[in-house]
Amino acid sequence: MKVYLLDSTQENAEKGKAYSEKYFQKSVALKKMTEEKKAAVMDNIIATTDYNDLKDCDLIIEAVFENREIKADVTQKTEAVIGEDIIFASNTSTLPISGLAESSSRPHNFIGMHFFSPVEKMPLVEMIMGEQSSDEALAKSLDYIQQIKKTPIVVNDSRGFFTSRVFSTSCNEANEMMREGVNPALIENAARHAGYPVGPFAVQDETTIDLSVKIHNQTKEDMGDDYKPMSSIEVMQKMYELGRLGKRFGKGFYEYPEGGKKFLWPGLADIYPVKEEQPDIQEIKDRMMSVQALDAYRCLEENVLTSPDDGDIGSIFGWGFPPWSGGVFSYIDMVGLQSFVDRCDDYCNRFGERFEVPDSLRERAKNKEKFYS
């Protein structure tokens, strides 16, 4: 496919193209791709700053950072040059699609298309239907996702959608445990031992603390007094104030020495002293997995998710929920609904209301229902 890569400056656009070149160069070195094939693919990526270059595109994917004003500006400048029936997809990770579509003159062609980082490795694309997104917009988007060999799930619009919303709960839980005095290294090791691809502090560094704080600020601006921030937001704000913004910035929860292996920042212990008595590793694993599974159920109850299948596929392919579990809903089935409810009640009493169980889940447990027969 011919791709126009538009950015605010030519230098930024070329930097984006260079990322692809570096990726394909590895394939050439591993003899998975020839130099000729690489050259042909790179010729199909045109770096530009001119919106007029987008006029013949069949599909637009906007991926600027989480700022409503900038996204609105980009949407309007793009719609001024593209055809009436072209699909405009926003690769936002948290901002509701219906709200972003307000800046569009054709909201029926506006849809959410949420990719995961690193895009070249992650198999999932989360499609988000805004209030006015049409079936045609979804169908064309799914055709495109099939062509690039990704796996889609389709969810309804809400803040954070399914993946970003539920993924963030285990990072929040890890931050809460650190505040309680649990050793960050124990939390990281417990997550890896449970089957997560990386620990919650490493993943926050990867996605950047900078982005998390920007999302928090934008949500606060959008929702005002209705906004209930995640319980450990002060941890992110503290890191932000200290200028420890994540891996891309050279420092976050981890230190990234040049030419050496990363290691957890020793300064964390000065801010959040480690208690002498540490919890059992199984409890740490159970807390992180349970808080995600519980919030996934809330997504199903709120019709953000329309089926447990999408929740299971999304959780494993989107953020690496331990694959042995079968996904968030299969995990609840595996633990047993009543046992899961009892565990959440215990955690609610000990750790806070984020573990509060919805009445409908209690009812399911009482009736001995499962998500899968």
What's the mean pLDDT in 205-221? 86
Instruction: Read off the pLDDT band of 218 (50, 70, 90).
Output: confident
**284 neighbors 347 (Cβ within 8 angstroms):** no
Overall fold of domain 3-156: Rossmann fold (3.40.50)
pLDDT digits (tens, 9 = 90+) for 98-115: 999 999 999 999 999 999
pLDDT digits (tens, 9 = 90+) for 67-76: 889 999 999 9
Provide the CA 77 distance to its chain's centre, in angstroms.
27
DSSP annotation of 118: S
Residue 222 pLDDT: 80
What's the mean pLDDT in 178-201? 97
Residue 212 pLDDT: 85
Lowest mean pLDDT among 103-107, 223-227, 356-360: 223-227
Question: Among the residues of 278-307, which ranges form H helices?
Answer: 281-301
**110 neighbors 128 (Cβ within 8 angstroms):** no
Report the share of the chain in percent with pLDDT over 70.
100
Task: Tell me if residue 282 falls in helix, strand or coil.
Answer: helix
Task: With CA atoms as reference, report the closest residue to 116 among 158, 145, 137.
Answer: 145
β-strand partners of 87: 59
CATH 3.40.50.720 residue ranges of the chain are: 3-156
Q: How many CB atoms lie within 10 A of CB 273?
A: 9
- Active-site residue set: 114
What's the mean pLDDT in 149-162? 93
**Domain 179-189+198-271, architecture per CATH:** Orthogonal Bundle (1.10)
Question: Among the residues of 195-261, which ranges form H helices?
Answer: 200-207, 209-223, 233-241
- Rounded to a whole number, what is the distance in angstroms from the first to the last CA of the chain? 43
Q: In this model, does residue 201 exceed pLDDT 90? A: yes
Q: In this model, does residue 286 exceed pLDDT 90? A: yes
Q: In this model, does residue 229 exceed pLDDT 90? A: no
pLDDT digits (tens, 9 = 90+) for 235-258: 999 999 999 999 999 999 999 999
Residue 109 pLDDT: 97
pTM of the full structure: 0.89
Question: Among the residues of 44-195, which ranges form H helices?
Answer: 68-79, 97-100, 135-147, 163-180, 184-194
**47 neighbors 10 (Cβ within 8 angstroms):** yes
Task: Tell me if residue 57 falls in helix, strand or coil.
Answer: coil
What's the mean pLDDT in 39-51? 97
CATH 1.10.1040.50 residue ranges of the chain are: 179-189+198-271
Amino acid present at 331:
Y
